[in-house]
Amino acid sequence: MKKKILRIATRKSPLALEQTKYVEKKILSLYPDLNIQLVPIVTHGDNILNKSLSKIGGKGLFIKELEFALLENKADIAIHSMKDLPVHITKELCLVSICKRGNPLDSLISNNYNSINQLPKGAVIGTSSLRRQCQLITRRPDLVVSPLRGNIETRIAKLDQGKYDAIILATEGLNRLSLKHRITQIIPAELSLPSCGQGAIGIQSRLHDKKILFFLSRLNHINTFIEINTERAFCKTLEAGCQIPIGSYAILKKNKIWLRGLVGSPDGAIILKGERIGWYDTAEEMAYSLANELLDNGARRILDNIYTKQLN
């Protein structure tokens, strides 16, 4: 009797493959009789490395081809970094599960300096994230922020070649690639509020595949699911894409959830922050309330200015 086959769509980057192996191992621990086949895909975002994400459409460029593979029945599920998954999902698809979150914070990597505070005036920092950029400039307007694209290994290689004094990357990506030793400073959320969903892996499938939805629901980590859906509700209320400076970070503990949100101007001149604490079953209402508070306090003007510039 043939084993049942489960086809997993994944990006070809080393981090994406590591994340897929992690999910594969979890699936096989529950369903050892499955025959898992990987469907590696190079996305549009992987091919364009000479432009910042904010200028080419945001992180959604990393998932479109994976979603097409699901819609065209070339794969059964797709594995995503949750920070790359847009808040609006194609209607034929759904988010089946979110695995237990790793470290959601940003990290500084430098060969010569131990922290952001130790960086000298005029130091060149590599990042293509407007979220990281605006928070960094607010704290250290004397630093020079320079675009940085490519996979994690490529970015670190550019640092080692002396093109940057330091770079900022997601901590959990470094952990998964066994590059924890390169971390100079894990940046507190108070200095760099994480991106929505950062540090977690999501599993996407077709909405009508009820059997797959049922057995993969066992991989869902409920606390992580609640936290990240709260963050996504905040971003969804803002109608915010990945190409704007926005952060959202939720922590669930003892049935209470603490949500922090941020919207900033790319130049760091304006940073709007807020937070909510309440019972987890009111998380979506909290996210809606916080997002609207920031919109009323100036975030709407920031977002309108960014979108106008992108259209021009």
The structural domains of the chain, with segments of one domain joined by +, span 1-99+200-220, 106-187, 221-312
Which CATH superfamily hosts domain 1-99+200-220?
Periplasmic binding protein-like II (3.40.190.10)
Q: For 86-92, what is the mean pLDDT?
A: 90
Class of domain 221-312: alpha beta
Is the confidence at residue 52, as pLDDT, over 70? no
- What pairing do the DSSP bridges indicate for beta strands 256-264 and 5-11? unpaired
CB 284 within 8 A of CB 230: yes
The pLDDT score that the predictor gives to residue 42 is 84
Catalytic residue, candidates 33, 76, 84, 165: 84
Cα angle, residue 193 at apex, residues 188 and 197 outer, rounded to 5°: 115
| Cα–Cα separations (whole angstroms), residue 230 to 213, 255, 302 | 21, 13, 22
- For the chain, what is the mean pLDDT? 91
Range in 72-76, 89-93, 154-158 with the lowest mean pLDDT = 89-93
pTM of the model: 0.90
Q: For 275-289, what is the mean pLDDT?
A: 96
Range among 41-50, 140-149, 236-245 rated most confident: 140-149
Confidence of residue 2 (pLDDT cuts 50, 70, 90): low
CATH assignment of 106-187, given 3.10.20.600, 3.40.50.720, 3.40.109.10, 3.40.190.10?
3.40.190.10
Helices (DSSP H) in 4-151: which residue ranges? Answer: 14-30, 44-47, 53-56, 64-71, 130-139
- Name the percent of the chain lying above pLDDT 90: 80
Confidence of residue 44 (pLDDT cuts 50, 70, 90): low
Is the confidence at residue 310, as pLDDT, over 70? no
Give the span between the Cα atoms of 92 and 117, in whole angstroms: 47
User: Can 165 be counted among the known catalytic residues?
Assistant: no
Fold agreement between 1-99+200-220 and 106-187: yes
